[in-house]
Amino acid sequence: MINVAGHRLGTREIEEAVQAHAGIAEVAVVGVADALKGQIPVAFAVVKDPAAVATPDGVAKMRKEVMDTVDRQLGAIGRPGAVHFVTVLPKTRSGKLLRRSIQALAEAAIPGTSRRSRIRRRWSRSAARWRIRNPRGAARFAFHPCGGR
């Protein structure tokens, strides 16, 4: 549950609205702190056709379509503040999403946060360990960005 401008919204509701778009295969939504609204939803989506978001115009078009889909289903209050298109979402070995890791990444992407560089260093070290352990580039992440496993 996230609190967006006094409205309590479930991240799952927003995920279902984003996933209603025909071009989205998988999505994770996390709440990120905001000075004006309290929290804003940020979506990380895996697209079915990576070629659709290969160009900046394609990214802008897909982002607008996703926002319009959420507006139709939930209204403007449920619209994500940002939609990031990724190739894969970090998961545990059992397939659950690492929401805390995604949220840490989303909060690090916001300028002015004090933990940004520390979190990025941890992500890069963990990603390097992951690449060494899985040289072929497995589809899942087997690491935790805060140093654990």
pLDDT single digits (tens) 45-99: 999 988 888 889 999 999 999 999 999 998 888 889 889 998 888 888 898 888 8
HSE, CB side, 13 Å, CA atoms: give it for residue 149: 3
Angle between helices 99-108 and 116-133 (to 10 degrees): 130
Q: What is the pTM of this model?
A: 0.69
pLDDT in tens, 1-47: 887 888 888 888 999 999 999 999 999 999 888 888 888 899 999 99
> Angle CA(25)–CA(70)–CA(139) in degrees, nearest 5?
20
Same domain membership, residue 129 and residue 78:
no
Domain count for the chain? 2
HSE, CB side, 13 Å, CA atoms: give it for residue 70: 29
Same domain membership, residue 16 and residue 1:
yes
Which of residues 87, 109, 132 is at a domain's end? Answer: 87
Domain containing 50 equals 1-87
Residue matched to tokens 């607008």: 64
Same domain membership, residue 79 and residue 11:
yes
Same domain membership, residue 56 and residue 70:
yes
CATH number for the domain harbouring residue 45: 3.30.300.30
Using left for φ > 0, alpha for ψ between -120 and 50, and beta otherwise, residue 93 falls in: alpha
Contact of 27 with 43, CB cutoff 8 Å: yes
Reported as type and span, the H/E element at residue 78 is none
